[in-house]
Chain A
Amino acid sequence: DGGITQSPKYLFRKEGQNVTLSCEQNLNHDAMYWYRQDPGQGLRLIYYSQIVNDFQKGDIAEGYSVSREKKESFPLTVTSAQKNPTAFYLCASSIQGGARETQYFGPGTRLLVL
């Protein structure tokens, strides 16, 4: 089955700790994205990558970092600089970047602060 997997489903972070959220896709898509969802709000873009070894900041990149060493993987690290990390994190991918491409989403990771 082709699709996007995210792990873990729930993640707990202690104060001052960095945590990494996994996103893997086997759709052979070039572009991948990370969004943050807060209760009662729409999704906001954190980072996106149109191709391996390249990524761009989105609207709320501060306190986050990413890497794109492989086409199928786009991990997101929530650093200690992110002061309000509690949210639902969604990874997405599309065949290519750009306005006409449909984005497909993973099941999400819920991050909670202890």
Chain B
Amino acid sequence: GNSVTQMEGPVTLSEEAFLTINCTYTATGYPSLFWYVQYPGEGLQLLLKATKADDKGSNKGFEATYRKETTSFHLEKGSVQVSDSAVYFCALSARGANNLFFGTGTRLTVIP
């Protein structure tokens, strides 16, 4: 079946620290992979995506590389800011399916 396993939070970091949020997946075929961000009280915003193995998605200083050999799509940022505080969701879209499969989300809090 299709599923996403995400690093449990919450994660608390100081400003300018390095961020990694782990995400691994199980899927039939070759899925597309996504990171979405949810700010308090809001809907989800697409942060980045990758559609095939070895693709790197990047946006706003965040990066994630589609690793087929380890079935992973870890989110990284070199220097986090207070404004990055949010919940981050890893998701996949599998061949033959019409919906996204989401991880449980990781809450990130960045303190000054």
Contact = CB atoms under 8 A, between A and B. Distances in A.
Given A42-B4, A42-B89, A42-B105, A103 B100 contact: yes
Interface residues of B, number: 26
Contacts of A100: 32, 51, 93
B42 interface: yes
A105 B49 contact: no
Nearest to A107: B43
Interface of A: 4, 6, 31, 33, 40-45, 48, 50, 56, 58-59, 90, 92, 97-108
B102 interface: yes
Given A42-B89, A108-B42, A99 B34 contact: no
A92 B42 CA distance: 13
Interface in B84-112: 89, 91, 93-100, 102-105
B98 A50 contact: yes
28 contacts: A31-B98, A42-B102, A42-B104, A43-B89, A43-B100, A43-B102, A44-B102, A45-B99, A45-B100, A48-B98, A48-B99, A56-B98, A58-B99, A59-B99, A99-B31, A99-B94, A99-B97, A100-B93, A101-B93, A102-B34, A103-B46, A103-B93, A103-B100, A105-B43, A105-B44, A105-B45, A106-B43, A108-B43
Interface of B: 4, 31-32, 34, 36, 42-46, 49, 51, 89, 91, 93-100, 102-105
Contacts of B89: 42-43
Given A42-B4, A42-B104, 9 more contacts: A31-B98, A41-B104, A42-B89, A44-B102, A45-B100, A58-B99, A90-B43, A97-B98, A99-B93
Contacts of A48: 98-99
A23 to B, nearest CB: 11
Contacts of B34: 102
Contacts of A101: 93
